[in-house]
Structure 1
Amino acid sequence: MANTQLKNELIAYSKHIGIDKIGFASADPFVTLKSRLEEQQNLEFQSGFEKGTLEERTKPELLLPEAKTIISIALAYPSKLKNPPQSKKGDRRGIFCRASWGEDYHHILRRKLNMLEEFLVNKVPSATSKSMVDTGELSDRAVAERAGIGWSGKNCAIITPEFGSYVYLGEMITTLDLPEDRPIFDQCGSCNKCVDACPTDALVQGGQLDSNKCIAFLTQTKELLPEKYRKKIGNRLYGCDTCQVVCPENKGKNADHHSEMIPDPEVVKPKLLPLLKLSNREFKEKFGGISGSWRGKKPIQRNAIIGLAHYKEIESLPDLYKLMHEDPRPVIRGTAAWAVAEISKNDDVYQQLLKAEQTESVAEVSVEIKNSLQKLGNGFKPLEKEMKNL
């Protein structure tokens, strides 16, 4: 079978199984990418979530001997919530980023890639392949760029003409030699909106990201967050969409044709206070199906506390006191100690912090308590008056 014919049949099959875009690239080494990754490493801009060595991440043949072609796929996801619940005083809500809405995209894309692999095996039994989604060694974005799925935007996302940057990416390395597609050249031009809008200046320049400053990365860490970033996070529980929301290429783009990607508003925009009390089982039952749950409940609960501080939610103080005094996790106690002083400057907060200071044995939490006490100083307001003013 001619390779061009096989490619056309594969394209037709991909549409039949619901893949929005498919592209074909050579499996040659990613020379330019390697130099960029080396620079990222030297600047200490990496997140630590990267998999594989620099060689493995840039030489497909190390992952699949005799690799000839990389097939890139893209599935578009929704950007708008239907009938989103409102966040209001006494009932504040957090938000998961759009890429975490609906069923975990890793599962969705792997199913599609498995179907493509089966199709190829049926056509060419001697062919071998290896697929990956997001957590593999290869850069999804570099592959998609080479395969003509879209161009690499200044926001470090692949931007497609049809769906903007609201697409999930996956790829398959194969030993089949299939005709390549042409890359799409950069179309960002002089636009710099994403770089200017980044809350933490993580987009150092167009197309270069300091992962350690990126809110999407910070919300996934498990430690106490540096204080300078806490107020930047706002009510984000997982991820950040700012650089996508401000992108002109995303204006009016909302792909809601994949039923498994349609989000449950109560899951992706949950109430903050109930989040603090979830058991591991309850967390898994409610959030286990979305990609934003992969780091477990602790980062989400820490971020929920930061969200309550962002809203200055007075009514959350009793719950935060309980966490500060009783939670076995230092990160949660320390974040709660910071949050209560952000929410209110009343004598009750001061006394609760003093009480926590006397019993706290973990140094980093003690620092948070002392810092909060120093911020409060004197001149407290009666708590009852604050509650009446709500």
Structure 2
Amino acid sequence: MTSAHLKEEIIAYSKTIGIDQIGFASTDPFLTLKERLITHRELGYESGFEEPDLDKRTEPSRLLPEAKTIIAIALAYPSKMKNAPVSKKGDRRGIFCRASWGEDYHHILRRKLEKLEAFIEEKVPDAKSVSMTDTGELSDRAVAERAGIGWSGKNCAIISPEFGSYMYLGEMVTTVSLEPDQPIEDQCGTCNKCVDACPTGALVQGGQLDSGKCIAYLTQTKGFLPDRFRKKLGNRLYGCDTCQVVCPENKGKDFHHHDEMEPDPEVVKPKLEPLLTISNREFKNTYGSISGSWRGKKPIQRNAIIALAHFKEESSLPALYALLKEDPRPVIRGTAAWAIGTIGGGEQSENALKQAKEREKNTDVQAEIHKGLEILLNEQL
């Protein structure tokens, strides 16, 4: 079988297993990417979730010495939720970003890649392959860009002419030699909507992201959220879609090709108050199957408290008083103190904060109680 014929068969097979887009790239080192990553590190823009070894991120041969080709795949995910519940006063809801709707995409991509690997091994018995998603060493976006899946947008996402940026990406490094595809020319042009719309200014310029300011990253941290970002969070529990929603290339893009990606509205747009007291077991049973659960319940609960403050939801004050008094975790107690002050509640809230101030031993929580009192008393002036 010729290389060209094998490539055609791989493309045809990929469609039968639900891969929406497939592309092929060389295994040459990603030299331009490496320069960008070095600059990114020097500027302090890394999130800390990345593979720290820049050579592994940019040299495919380090992952598979005889590598000849990288196969990139993309799966389109929905951008619109059917029967989305309404968030209303007294019954406020948070939101998980679209990339966390449905089953954890890592599992979905892995199954597709395993099937693709098995197909290639059937055709080329001595083939060796290594597959990965965004938890692997290579940069999904750099591979997808080189393989012609789409261009790298100013919002730091790969944008496909067919699917926009609502895509999950994965790749396979293989010893099989296949003709590479041509990259797509950048089509962002003078459009700067994503940069202008970023709530925290994390998009420093087109294609450059300060991860430490990105709401998608901030929602996954476990400590106190820095003050300057709290009001920017809105009701986001995990992730942020702003730079995708405003992108003109995503207008009208909404694909429902994969049943396992369909969101459960009650899971991805949940009521906020029940999250405050959810047990570990309940959290795992309800949210364990989605990608947004990977950091555990604490960041989600902290974000839910901030969301209630965003809504100034007075009906949640009794639950927040209880957290401030009883929760063993300083981040939760402290964030609750700040939220109480932000929501208000007059004398009752003032008393709750003053009593907490008397008993609290943790200096970080004491600082949050002080902030809460200051906000509350300024509101009453």
TM bucket, shorter chain? over 0.9
Q: Which residue of structure 2 lines up, in the alignment, with residue 126 of structure 1? A: 126
**Inter-partner Cα distance in structure 1 for 2:65 and 2:119:** 21
**3-state secondary structure, aligned to 1:255:** coil
Count, aligned residues: 381
Give the ranges of 4+ consecutive aligned residues of structure 1 lying more than 4 Å apart after TM superposition.
378-381
Shift of 1:66: 1.1
- Counterpart Cα distance in 2 of 1:223 and 1:354: 23
Q: Is the 8 A contact 2:342 2:376 kept in 1?
A: no
Structure 2 distance, partners of 1:275, 1:373, is: 25
- Give TM-score, length-normalised by structure 1: 0.97
Paired AA for residue 321 in structure 1: Y
Give the AA of the match of 1:82: K
Decide whether the 8 Å contact of 2:341 with 2:371 is kept in 1.
no
Q: Tell me the residue number matched to 2:352.
A: 352
**Match of 2:81, as an amino acid?**
L
Q: Deviations over 1:116-146 (max 9, x none)?
A: 0000111111110100011001000000000
- Aligned partner letter, 2:270: P
Q: Deviations over 1:252-280 (max 9, x none)?
A: 00001211101000000000001111100
Name 1:225's counterpart in structure 2: 225
Change beyond 3 A, Cα 1:339–1:123: same
Paired residue secondary structure (2:179)? coil
Superposed, 1:19-34 pairs within 5 Å as 19-34=19-34
Match of 1:287 in 2: 287
Distance 2:212 2:299 in 1: 16
Q: Distance in 1 between matches of 2:83 and 2:32?
A: 44
Unpaired segments of 5 or more residues in structure 2?
Answer: none
Conservation of the 8 A alpha-carbon contact between 1:345 and 1:380:
no
> Shift of residue 376 of structure 1?
2.5
Corresponding residue SS for 1:232: coil
Aligned partners of 1:190 and 1:243: how far apart in 2?
16
5+ residue gaps, structure 1: 382-390
For the 8 Å contact 2:21–2:73, the answer to whether it is kept is yes
Q: 2:30 matched to 1:54? A: no
CA contact (8 A) 1:223 1:331 kept: yes
Name the residue aligned to 1:112.
112
Deviations 1:192-224 (A, max 9, x none): 000000000000000000000000000000000
Change (3 A) 1:181 1:378: closer
- Whether the 8 Å CA contact 2:56–2:62 is kept in 1: the answer is yes
Shift of 1:370: 1.1
Give the superposition deviation at 1:97.
Answer: 0.2
* Post-superposition offset of 1:345: 5.0
Q: Determine what percentage of the aligned residue pairs are the same residue.
A: 71
**1:378 shift after superposition:** 6.5
Asked if the contact 1:197/1:246 (under 8 Å) is kept, the reply is: yes
Query: Using the alignment, how far apart are the partners of 2:228 and 2:167 within structure 1?
Result: 31
The equivalent of 2:370 in structure 1 is 370
- SS of alignment partner, residue 377 of structure 1: helix
* Corresponding residue of 1:195: 195
| 8 Å Cα contact 2:341/2:374 also seen in 1 | no
Distance 1:218 1:52 in 2: 19
3-state SS of the aligned residue for 1:10? helix
**Whole-angstrom distance in 2 between the partners of 1:159 and 1:357:** 50
Q: In the TM superposition, what whole-angstrom CA distance separates every residue of 1:63-94 from its partner, at most 9, and x where no partner exists?
A: 11111100000000000011110000000000
CA distances 1:35-77 after superposition (whole Å, capped 9, x unpaired): 0000000000000000140111000000111111000000000
Normalised by the length of structure 2, the TM-score is: 0.99
The residue that corresponds to 1:320 in the other structure is: 320
The corresponding residue for 1:154 is: 154
Other-structure match for 2:144: 144
In 2, Cα distance between equivalents of 1:378 and 1:234: 22
Quick one: distance in 1 between partners of 2:207 and 2:379? 48
How far residue 374 of structure 1 moved from its aligned partner, in angstroms, is 2.1
Counterpart in the other structure of 1:341: 341
In the alignment, is the contact (CA less than 8 A) between 1:93 and 1:271 conserved in 2?
A: yes
Tell me, in whole angstroms, the C-alpha distance in 2 between the residues paired with 1:165 and 1:379: 42
Contact 2:100 / 2:290 at 8 angstroms: preserved in 1? yes
CA contact (8 A) 2:317 2:345 kept: no
Across the aligned residues of Structure 1 and Structure 2, the Cα RMSD in angstroms comes to 1.0
1:238 Cα deviation after fit:
0.2
CA distance in 1, matches of 2:52, 2:326: 40
Verify the 8 A CA contact 1:347 1:380 in the aligned structure 2.
no
Given the superposition, is the C-alpha separation of residues 61 and 251 from structure 1 closer, same or farther in structure 2, using an over 3 Å criterion?
same
2:91 corresponds in structure 1 to 91
